[in-house]
Amino acid sequence: MAQRLLLALLALTLTATASWSARFDDVKVELKTLRGGVHMITGAGGNIGVLTGPDGLLLVDDQFVPLAEKIQAVIAKADPKHGATAPHYVLNTHWHADHTSGNVHFGPRAEVVAHHNVRERLSKIQRLPRKTYQPLPKTALPDVTYQSDMAIHFNGETIRLRHYPNAHTDGDSVVFFVNAQVVHMGDIFFEGRFPFVDLESGGSIQGVIAAIEDVLKRAPKEAIVIPGHGPASNIAGLERYLGMLKETVGLIRSRIAEGASEDDAVNAGLPKKYGWLSWEFISTEKYVRALYRSLVEAPETLR
């Protein structure tokens, strides 16, 4: 009986794994060269930043593990010398699986770098409203962590990581490629769509706004901006995004001050000019509910 149960569980696990991998069979992974040896990869999940050069490869995020071979293949076209080898560094902008599950493939052969809270979350079960995530294996966890900011000197480039607390999550890093003037925002910036603010993971809309304001002070006007999701953008695009966030937060804040409930705020909606930002994961309703909760439930220091 025990043996039959074990075989049944094994078959179920293999079936689930095969089904999971099959989801990515038709995903097209593409690489776009930006500037100064920095590239952006799109596929499924968060955008990947890639730095190529004489020292080897550095990745910022690595999407889903079933896509790892496709990711490696497009990098090899951009850098035939190093593209087929393991990256020297993998930087995780935050813990979410669409940015970090590729660590399972790349992590054993690379130094994985992230904010301390990312390692903490990836090493434990994480529960979000629609899914529970199991801990990553030890070889996929960040082995270099930091608290506030740090710098990596690689391929003649200075890569600065800066932590922004309580923004998209409690472990967000923005990555500045100083010489190339490219900034990877992680999920603090969604180009052309409403943001996902992960309140359950310590995120807040107030923290997102504060982070973007700080990045705009630090980044050069000519910077190329890699969002967590959506096409590559620039400083003007980031400024427009910030304007949308401030206006919509202001509307919901006013409704709260007038005594509106969460449902009242949802029913009142947002200006029609922002309707195009609604998408399959974050509809206008979900965005308004996240704003309401963030403003009402946040600690006094974030209000």
pLDDT computed for residue 180 by the predictor: 98
Partners of residue 126 on adjacent β-strands: 133
Residue numbers of the domain that contains 211: 26-235
Number of domains in the chain: 1
3-state secondary structure of 175: strand
pLDDT computed for residue 302 by the predictor: 60
Residues of the chain with pLDDT under 50: 1-18
3-state secondary structure of 273: helix
pLDDT computed for residue 303 by the predictor: 57
**CA triplet 270, 275, 281: central angle to 5 degrees?**
100
Pairing of strands 89-91, 131-133: unpaired
Structural domain contains residue 287: no
Structural domain contains residue 143: yes
CA gap 191, 248 in Å, rounded: 16
Structural domain contains residue 43: yes
Give the type of residue at 236: A
Structural domain contains residue 144: yes
Structural domain contains residue 183: yes
CA gap 260, 247 in Å, rounded: 18
Task: Provide the H-helix boundaries in 56-193.
Answer: 68-78, 97-100, 103-106, 116-122
Partners of residue 41 on adjacent β-strands: 31, 48
Structural domain contains residue 277: no
pLDDT computed for residue 17 by the predictor: 45
Locus of tokens 């923004």: 167
pLDDT computed for residue 8 by the predictor: 38
Structural domain contains residue 223: yes
Q: What tens digit of pLDDT does each residue of 121-152 get?
A: 999 999 988 899 999 999 999 999 999 999 99
pLDDT computed for residue 22 by the predictor: 76
Structural domain contains residue 200: yes
Residue 199 is part of a domain; what is its CATH number?
3.60.15.10
pLDDT computed for residue 48 by the predictor: 98
pLDDT computed for residue 270 by the predictor: 97
